[in-house]
């Protein structure tokens, strides 16, 4: 179905007959784009147009987009890659292939590797390895605390200088209020962002799914929504005290969203993201103990799901991230209570985001902004815009084309998707990184 493209030095390429969509500038019309080497040289509705046709100068490679959408490459700000140390779950290469197959040209990886990204050498390893692979661009988060254990601050300043874009303990909450206050005070001094996995661990201990009637009926230990709400409320108070920029990952409950909404209205520098499971699924997806639907945070109630959708629509939630968390088969093919948390999401980020448009919650351009310019702006990344001089990181996609998610056919090394069997609309046709085609759909394969 799909094929990777060998690495080559890019020349000039004209992408004609495209429906250009660039949320950063509001561009949403038929046109063309010219890349020259690694950068965008020109873009617009009149480019290469002659009457009702297209005329491209000699010596310029031409890609006919056949009227499909051409957007900035997608930006995914929450990805676990597995490498170094957990290559049985995934690697930078496997994540890069899955990302480019999903139209993602920039991703930010969590520090929960082995060793943890709490040292400059690990930051440099990730950056060097990603450059060598030449697939999606990879930026690392630095661990907020040493070993991501929540007890002692990591060398945040040095990690920032080495290239860490923000600081988080990743899949672990930074639960110690004193440590978090110290981290925020330091981060505020240097205008660095802190990202929290909002979950009070003492309330989630031994819990495996959302607390409520369904968990009781299934005989499973519940994770109360208050675990998220309490951590959000606490950290907003700490951010108010220190002046730090604070970001909450994968928010999932109506009450925590309301707290964030009020804090933003009060002028605090608070931002947040969510992931497709929290606006496209609810706790019933656990069904008959489906371990692929065991996620952290857990799938919530239908009321919470609707609140997440509403917050995406009104802008309280700034961005959508895949929350890609690969787990090997042995970690999922066990009883639900023993199964690992997490689901893969790189290949399904586009179609699930487009459900917001297909279900008439928002326009297509507003949906695309949640995976392009908004996450890029949050993390201050040079991505997410169709702008002259920017890197030619592009995605061509068919917004209407339907397919069924099949966990056995995803490009990820691990296959643990909570959306297995779900019919979706939206398919990536071509992904371009620095002017090079790194993925092209091959329907004949």
Looking at 235, 273, 304, 323, which residue is catalytic? Answer: 323
CA-angle at 239, arms to 273 and 271, nearest 5°: 20
- Rounded CA-CA distance 309/279 in Å is 6
Q: Report how far residue 342's alpha carbon sits from residue 327's, in angstroms, rounded to the nearest whole number.
A: 7
Instruction: Tell me the backbone φ, ψ of residue 8, rounded to 5 degrees.
Output: -150, 160
Phi, psi of 105 (to 5 degrees): -105, -15
CA–CA distances in Å: residue 371 to residues 47, 90, 130, 276: 26, 22, 21, 11
Known catalytic membership, residue 323: yes
User: Tokens 């962002």 map to which residue?
Assistant: 193
DSSP readout, 132-171? HHTSSEEEEPEESBGGG-SSSB--HHHHHHHT--SEE-TT
Residues with Cβ within 8 Å of residue 373, at least 6 apart in sequence: 22, 23, 24, 72, 384, 385
Angle at the Cα of 36 (from 31 to 39), degrees rounded to 5? 85
Which residues lie below 8 Å from residue 59, measured CB to CB, with a gap of 6+? 12
Hunting for tokens 């979706």 — which residue is that? 424
Which pair of structure tokens corresponds to residue 26? 């509001």
Sign of CA dihedral 329, 331, 334, 340: negative
* CA pair distance 293, 336, nearest whole angstrom: 9
Contacts (Cβ under 8 Å, ≥6 apart) of 430: 63, 394, 395, 396, 437, 439, 440, 441
CA gap 428, 65 in Å, rounded: 12
Catalytic site positions: 323
């Amino acid at each position: 179905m799909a094929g990777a493209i060998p690495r080559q030095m890019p020349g000039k390429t004209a992408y004609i007959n495209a429906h250009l969509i660039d949320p950063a500038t509001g561009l949403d019309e038929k046109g063309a784009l010219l890349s020259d080497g690694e950068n965008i040289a020109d873009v617009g509705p009149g480019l290469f147009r002659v009457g009702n046709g297209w005329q491209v100068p000699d010596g310029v490679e031409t890609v006919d987009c056949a009227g499909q959408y051409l957007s900035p490459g997608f930006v995914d700000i929450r990805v676990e890659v597995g490498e170094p140390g957990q290559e049985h779950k995934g690697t930078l290469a496997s994540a890069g292939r899955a990302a480019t197959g999903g139209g993602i040209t920039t991703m930010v990886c969590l520090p929960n590797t082995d060793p943890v990204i709490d040292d400059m050498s690990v930051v440099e390893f990730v950056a060097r390895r990603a450059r060598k692979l030449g697939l999606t661009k990879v930026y690392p988060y630095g661990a907020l605390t040493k070993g991501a254990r929540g007890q002692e601050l990591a060398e945040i300043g040095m990690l920032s200088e080495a290239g860490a874009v923000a600081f988080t303990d990743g899949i672990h909450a930074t639960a110690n209020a004193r440590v978090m206050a110290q981290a925020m005070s330091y981060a505020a001094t240097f205008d660095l962002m802190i990202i929290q996995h909002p979950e009070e661990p003492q309330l989630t201990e031994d819990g495996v799914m959302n607390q409520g009637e369904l968990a009781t009926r299934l005989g499973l230990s519940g994770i109360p929504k208050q675990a998220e709400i309490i951590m959000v409320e606490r950290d907003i108070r700490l951010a108010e005290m220190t002046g730090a920029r604070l970001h909450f990952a994968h928010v999932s409950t109506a009450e925590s969203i309301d707290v964030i909404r009020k804090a933003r209205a009060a002028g605090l520098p608070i931002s947040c993201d969510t992931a497709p499971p929290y606006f496209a699924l609810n706790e019933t997806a656990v069904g008959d103990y489906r371990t692929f639907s065991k996620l952290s945070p857990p799938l919530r109630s239908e009321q919470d799901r609707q609140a997440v959708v509403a917050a995406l629509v009104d802008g309280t939630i700034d961005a959508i991230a895949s929350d890609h968390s690969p787990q090997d088969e042995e970690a999922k093919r066990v009883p639900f209570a023993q199964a690992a948390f997490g689901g893969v999401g790189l290949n399904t980020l586009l179609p699930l985001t487009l459900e917001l448009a297909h279900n008439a919650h928002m326009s297509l351009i507003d949906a695309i902004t949640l995976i392009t310019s908004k996450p890029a702006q949050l993390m201050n990344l040079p991505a997410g815009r169709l702008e002259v001089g920017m890197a030619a990181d592009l995605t061509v996609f068919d917004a209407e084309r339907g397919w069924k998610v099949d966990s056995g056919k995803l490009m990820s090394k691990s296959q643990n998707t909570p959306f297995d069997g779900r019919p979706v609309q939206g398919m990536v046709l071509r992904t371009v990184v620095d002017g090079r085609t790194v993925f092209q759909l091959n329907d004949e394969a």
